[in-house]
């Protein structure tokens, strides 16, 4: 099931089967982006609603013109700067891309992933790979091959093992309206980095009924364990006396009289490192038979913004307690 053999993956994909692939962000459930049979398999395996479109993974920027048109200059500049890398561009699609990929939209989401195994695989294929994150719909994204196999067990024949994901959090998604860039999803590239290149950009408002990008659905990326988000962990912890609690913390453990499982994401206080460790820590806590997880709100800057976005979606409740 877990393998590093690209040829096996290549053969399966050519046969329109589904293969889990490593990327620098999270693992993906990949299939031939031109083939409806393969695409349907992805949606069914992931239990993903058909209204939620997929990202198409291409091998290089030069492939862009095959599947997208009317590409804004800003998009090209972003692609030149960040590809291969954790940036997804939503562009006008060409008809080669099936409706299933775009959920019938006239736009298609595209990126060049930055992982040597997946780039080598794409290089050997004459089609791009549609791939959502390799988790059942609504659950935490996988950042290791083991996470993927825990989710899909025998329902997935091939998982290409590329080790732990370097970034550990999904790509940043940018779309365009009247050629102006719009942020659809916070991701591994912070909004500051994007704005350094293209100036101030609009952040798409969260909308549960008709989300521009369903990654913006407010309940998403969820552990099975009830999760709470707070700016005052010790205070919230008091209301869970007698329960088995896990804590997700930024840079230091808390001193607690009751027995708690603590996950500290970056002892040195580095938000990039914290982002990389976030999902692995959530997976670990979620597999620990806890009554609840309490996560602290991260600093609201750089990748802290992305981490807070994911924690808000993972959480049942957000308690801001005044000190
Ligand atoms: O880092 C990533 O982006 C990972 C790796 C595997 O590449 N993929 C990923 O895919 O996170 P997924 O399917 O879990 O999230 C893709 C997001 C969804 O929120 C989807 O709604 C949005 O991309 N999306 C796809 N096509 C879109 C479109 N045409 N317009 C707006 N949003 C789109
Ligand atoms: Mg996902």
For ligand 1, what atom is nearest to the CA of residue 217? 19
Report whether 18 contacts 29 (CB < 8 A): yes
Q: Beta partners for 20?
A: 29, 159
C-alpha 70/C-alpha 75 separation (Å) is 10
Report whether 211 contacts 300 (CB < 8 A): no
What's residue 264's pLDDT? 98
Spell out the domains of the chain, with CATH numbers in brackets.
Answer: 2-167 (3.90.870.10), 227-319 (3.40.50.11030)
Q: Where are the beta strands (DSSP E) in the chain?
A: 2-3, 19-21, 28-32, 55-57, 68-69, 87-93, 107-111, 129-130, 158-160, 172-177, 180-185, 202-203, 227-230, 245-249, 260-264, 292-296, 317-319
Residue with the nearest Cα to atom 22 of ligand 1? 213
Q: Determine if ligand 1 sits within 6 Å of the CB of residue 110.
A: no
Measured in Å, how far apart are the chain's first and last C-alpha atoms? Answer: 50
Q: Determine if ligand 1 sits within 6 Å of the CB of residue 133.
A: yes
For ligand 1, what atom is nearest to the CA of residue 93? 29
What's residue 211's pLDDT? 45
CA of 56 to the centre of ligand 2 (A): 13
Q: Determine if ligand 1 sits within 6 Å of the CB of residue 285.
A: no
What's residue 205's pLDDT? 47
What's residue 207's pLDDT? 43
For ligand 1, what atom is nearest to the CA of residue 135? 14
Residue with the nearest Cα to atom 32 of ligand 1? 213
C-alpha 239/C-alpha 140 separation (Å) is 26
pLDDT tens across the length of the chain (323 residues):
899 999 999 999 999 999 999 999 999 999 999 999 999 999 999 999 999 999 999 999 999 999 999 999 999 999 999 999 999 999 999 999 999 999 999 999 999 999 999 999 999 999 999 999 999 999 999 999 999 999 999 999 999 999 999 999 999 999 999 999 999 999 999 999 999 999 999 998 454 434 445 444 555 677 899 999 999 999 999 999 899 999 999 999 998 888 899 999 999 999 999 999 999 999 999 999 999 999 999 999 999 999 999 999 898 777 666 54
For ligand 1, what atom is nearest to the CA of residue 214? 21
Report whether 23 contacts 115 (CB < 8 A): yes
Ligand 2 is an ion; its neighbours by CB within 5 Å are 133
């Amino acid at each position: 099931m877990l393998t590093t053999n690209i040829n096996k993956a290549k053969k399966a994909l050519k046969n329109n089967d589904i293969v889990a692939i490593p990327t620098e962000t999270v693992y993906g459930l990949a299939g031939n982006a031109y083939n409806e049979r393969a695409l349907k398999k992805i949606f069914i395996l992931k239990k993903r609603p058909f209204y939620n479109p997929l990202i198409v993974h291409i091998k290089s920027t030069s492939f862009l013109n095959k599947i997208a048109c009317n590409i804004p200059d800003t998009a090209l500049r972003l692609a030149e700067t960040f590809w291969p890398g954790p940036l997804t561009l939503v562009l006008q699609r060409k008809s080669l891309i099936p409706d299933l990929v775009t959920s019938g939209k006239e736009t298609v989401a595209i990126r060049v992933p930055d992982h040597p195994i997946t780039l080598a695989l794409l290089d050997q294929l004459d089609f791009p790979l549609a791939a959502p994150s390799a988790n059942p719909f609504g659950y935490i994204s996988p950042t290791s091959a083991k996470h993927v196999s825990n989710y899909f067990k025998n329902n997935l024949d091939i998982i290409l093992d590329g080790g732990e994901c370097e970034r550990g959090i999904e790509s940043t998604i940018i779309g365009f309206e009247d050629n102006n860039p719009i942020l659809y999803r916070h991701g591994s590239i912070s909004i500051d980095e994007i704005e350094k290149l293209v100036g101030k950009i609009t952040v798409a408002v969260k909308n549960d009924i008709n989300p521009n990008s369903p990654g913006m659905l407010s309940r998403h990326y969820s552990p099975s364990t009830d999760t709470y988000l707070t700016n005052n962990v010790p205070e919230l912890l008091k209301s869970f006396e007698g329960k088995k609690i896990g804590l997700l913390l930024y840079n230091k453990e808390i001193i607690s009289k009751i027995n708690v499982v603590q996950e500290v994401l970056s002892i040195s206080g580095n938000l990039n490192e914290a982002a990389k460790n976030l999902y692995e820590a959530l997976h670990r806590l979620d597999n620990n038979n806890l009554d609840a997880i309490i996560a602290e709100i991260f600093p609201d800057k750089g990748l802290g913004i992305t981490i807070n976005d994911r924690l808000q979606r993972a959480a049942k409740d957000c308690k801001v307690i005044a000190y």
